[in-house]
């Protein structure tokens, strides 16, 4: 209770997107999130669009006509806004289902009622959506304002799907787009407090990639290119198959670490840029795991993975290549060959540019 009164928190449910930066060929509009999003571009599709250091967040709250009940976020709130809050965004995964944390603003301002966009920003957003062919969109207002420099994070899809808990429907988000911690009397149920604390722990401990960073977006594009390359080589590469291959490689890597008698093996891939930590004769070892259906001549290494390995010599790169994938919806994952680099030095191999994201000038 003390933690949430000192740092107010609210949960907002959005449609699912990869980047939330506006319409993009590989990320055209939010998936789910209400009837409007089925054919049109949902306003929340700009929630992680940076305007300098500023971010503006929107959530559809038709029952309250956009009016947020600030007293249910902070029972001691006075006035039409709350400062120093944490806004946590949740969306339903269209591939694997379940409600996941997709990102957050820290030290944010929450407004009730909504605040109008500055004219230049409204015109910019409106123009982009119109060019993408969505007619029923009006860039009007927002309820949340965050700052990139204050710790705002957009979690990549892979890390979202690795989260070790889901937002429950009962005493959680349910069908509503807003989840208030407190009821109208300033009370919170023990069941709700339990999962909110877990969510806050995840937010506070997260040190993985952030799609608000341009370099991390490049990594997402590289991953998409890797998918295309696997498909071009005749491999199955839909999201569920890739997830199964990754999980299979993680299991094989753990068995390898056990064989090598590493101790205190802890999985960390849901919130860090490395996959395991473990101990070897008292020293901390970081483990990066890669699983692929290809012969493993090339593997995708992100900027964060490269930087971490360069600054931590006790890093192991475990590659499981030539993984075999059966046919059908419940394809069996098997086989694979291990290639392991102890005390991995990224400079021992070579890197090649895979893809670039180009931002054209505003017309």
Q: What is the pLDDT of residues 267-319, one digit of tens each?
A: 998 888 899 999 999 999 999 999 988 888 888 887 788 889 999 989 999 99
- Give the integer Cα–Cα distance in Å for 17 and 58: 14
Mean pLDDT within 333-355 = 83
220 vs 54, higher pLDDT: 54
pLDDT at 207 over 60: yes
Task: Name the phi and psi angles at 362, rounded to 5.
Answer: -70, 130
Query: What's the pTM value of the predicted model, to 2 decimals?
Result: 0.74
Neighbours of 208 (CB within 10 A): 21
Half-sphere exposure of 344 (CA within 13 A, CB side): 23
Radius of gyration of the chain (CA): 22
And the tokens for 189?
């149920």
Mean pLDDT within 24-40 = 80
Which helix (H) or strand (E) segment holds residue 85: the answer is strand 81-92
- Give the integer Cα–Cα distance in Å for 288 and 251: 13
- Give the integer Cα–Cα distance in Å for 287 and 317: 6
Q: How far from each other are the two terminal CA atoms of the chain, in whole angstroms?
A: 49
- pLDDT for the residue numbered 171: 74
- Give the integer Cα–Cα distance in Å for 87 and 71: 15
- How big, in percent rounded to 5, are the helix, strand and coil portions of the chain? 30, 25, 45
pLDDT at 121 over 60: yes
**Any idea which of 79-93, 102-116, 228-242, 348-362 has the lowest mean pLDDT?**
348-362
Question: For the chain, which residues make up each domain, given as ranges?
Answer: 2-210, 215-348
Which helix (H) or strand (E) segment holds residue 82: the answer is strand 81-92
Nearest to 81 by CA among 112, 50, 54, 105: 112
DSSP secondary structure letter of residue 18: S
- Length of the chain as a residue count: 363
Half-sphere exposure of 243 (CA within 13 A, CB side): 12
DSSP secondary structure letter of residue 332: P
pLDDT at 85 over 90: yes
Task: Give how far Cα 290 sits from Cα of 122, 177, 215, 245, Å.
Answer: 43, 36, 20, 9
Nearest to 233 by CA among 295, 159, 145, 158: 295
Q: Are 22 and 48 in contact (CB under 8 A)?
A: no
CA dihedral for 99, 105, 108, 110, sign (positive or negative)? negative
């Amino acid at each position: 209770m003390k933690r949430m009164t000192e740092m107010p928190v609210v949960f907002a449910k959005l449609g699912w997107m990869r980047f939330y930066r506006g319409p993009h060929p590989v990320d055209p509009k939010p998936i789910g999130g209400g009837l409007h999003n089925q054919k049109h571009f949902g306003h929340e599709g700009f929630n992680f669009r940076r305007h300098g250091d500023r971010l503006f967040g929107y959530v559809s709250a038709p029952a309250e006509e956009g009016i947020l009940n600030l007293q249910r976020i902070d029972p001691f709130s006075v006035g039409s806004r709350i400062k120093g809050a944490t806004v946590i965004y949740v969306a339903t995964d269209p591939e694997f289902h379940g409600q996941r944390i997709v990102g957050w603003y820290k030290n944010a301002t929450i407004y009730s009622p909504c605040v109008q966009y500055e004219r230049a920003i409204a015109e910019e957003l409106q123009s982009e959506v119109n060019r993408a062919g969505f007619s029923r969109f009006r860039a009007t207002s927002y309820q949340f304002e965050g700052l990139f420099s204050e710790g705002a994070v957009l979690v990549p899809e892979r890390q979202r799907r690795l989260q070790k808990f889901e937002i429950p429907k009962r005493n959680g988000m349910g069908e509503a787009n807003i989840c208030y911690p407190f009821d109208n009397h300033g009370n919170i149920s023990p069941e709700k407090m339990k999962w909110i604390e877990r969510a806050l722990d995840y937010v506070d401990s997260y040190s993985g990639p952030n799609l608000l960073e341009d370099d991390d977006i490049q990594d997402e594009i590289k991953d998409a290119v890797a998918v295309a390359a696997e498909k071009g080589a005749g491999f199955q590469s839909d999201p569920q198959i890739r997830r199964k291959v990754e999980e299979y490689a993680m299991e094989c890597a753990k068995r390898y670490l056990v064989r090598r008698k590493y101790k205190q093996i802890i999985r960390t891939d849901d919130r860090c840029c490395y996959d395991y930590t473990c101990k070897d004769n008292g020293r901390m070892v970081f483990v990066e795991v890669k699983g692929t259906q290809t012969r493993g001549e090339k593997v995708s290494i992100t900027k964060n993975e490269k930087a971490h390995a360069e600054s931590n010599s006790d890093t192991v790169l475990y590659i499981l290549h030539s993984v075999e994938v059966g046919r059908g919806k419940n394809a069996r994952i098997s086989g694979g060959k291990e290639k392991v680099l102890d005390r991995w030095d990224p400079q021992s191999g070579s890197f090649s540019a895979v893809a670039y994201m180009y931002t054209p000038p505003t017309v």
